[in-house]
Amino acid sequence: MRWWLLLLPALPLILPLALHTRRHALRLAPAAGPAQGLAGAQLSGEPFRLLVLGESTVAGVGVSCLQHALAGCLAQALSERFGRPVAWRACGENGITAAQACERLLPRALDDSPELALLVFGVNDSTGLTSLRRWQLALGLMTEALKARGARVAFSAVPPLQHFHALPWLLRTLLGARAALLDARLRRLAGQTAADYCAVSLPFSSRYLALDGYHPSGLGYRVWAQGVAERLTLPAIPAAG
């Protein structure tokens, strides 16, 4: 309620800023290449099955190839950490919200019965002003469905939109506050469902960002993926022996 009380007086300024930003923002295409791959193919053992499900960062916006986006980078980091091959699949869509993903992405994502599923949402739900209840419900439904297929579920934190310098100051300040509210619900849901919560430890300086100043660069994806890999606690990937 406090966030809405902050927003309402600022609406006459926010709406023109939002329209101007949408109209003039640099739009980058999703990454090319196969939406699945194998990291650590030279290693022994049965490949561990990784699914990354989410929004534009899962679709690889900001880099040219999905292998260099979040799913491919995370698979490589996990392979190096556990000494096993990791078969990855990226299931993402630019501009999608968590509720939309339940309808459009989740049915496809369940086909492979992943062992680990990383859910990456929050930017579009923040900018789209998704209600906290709808946000938590959608993520809860995805978590239940994936766990029913035997997957360990992890959440990547909602990115701190207050650091997205492609946005005007007032817009990113308000959206950053909204993102923090969604992230607090995400932390709570992680505790309730025994899912991993992985903070985004990414410096939001130019070398870590793509040309649009909004999505990660290749270096940004690698650093983000490394941070996620370090925060996951997965006894399901035994060392090769």
* Residue pLDDT, tens place only, 55-87: 999 999 999 999 999 999 999 999 998 899 999
Could you give phi then psi for residue 197, rounded to 5 degrees? -115, 125
Least Cα distance to 170 among 11, 31, 1 occurs for 11
Q: Is there a contact between 188 and 198 (Cβ–Cβ < 8 Å)?
A: no
How far apart CA 31 and CA 64 sit, in angstroms, is 5
Question: For residue 65, is it left (φ>0), alpha (ψ between -120 and 50) or beta?
Answer: beta
**Regarding predicted confidence, which is higher, 95 or 4?**
95
Q: What is the pLDDT of residue 10?
A: 63
For residue 10, what are its two tokens?
């600022």
Could you give phi then psi for residue 6, rounded to 5 degrees? -75, -35
Q: What is the pLDDT of residue 241?
A: 47
Which residues share a beta bridge with 86?
Answer: 39, 48
Q: Is there a contact between 240 and 84 (Cβ–Cβ < 8 Å)?
A: yes
DSSP helix/strand/coil, 8: helix
- Domains, the chain, in order of start with CATH, read 38-231 (3.40.50.1110)
* Average pLDDT estimate for 137-164: 94
How far apart CA 21 and CA 36 sit, in angstroms, is 33
How far apart CA 21 and CA 10 sit, in angstroms, is 16
184-200, pLDDT tens digit by residue? Answer: 999 999 999 999 999 98
**Regarding predicted confidence, which is higher, 190 or 16?**
190
How far apart CA 221 and CA 52 sit, in angstroms, is 13
Characterize the bridge pairing of strands 116-120 and 86-92.
unpaired
- pTM, to two decimals: 0.89
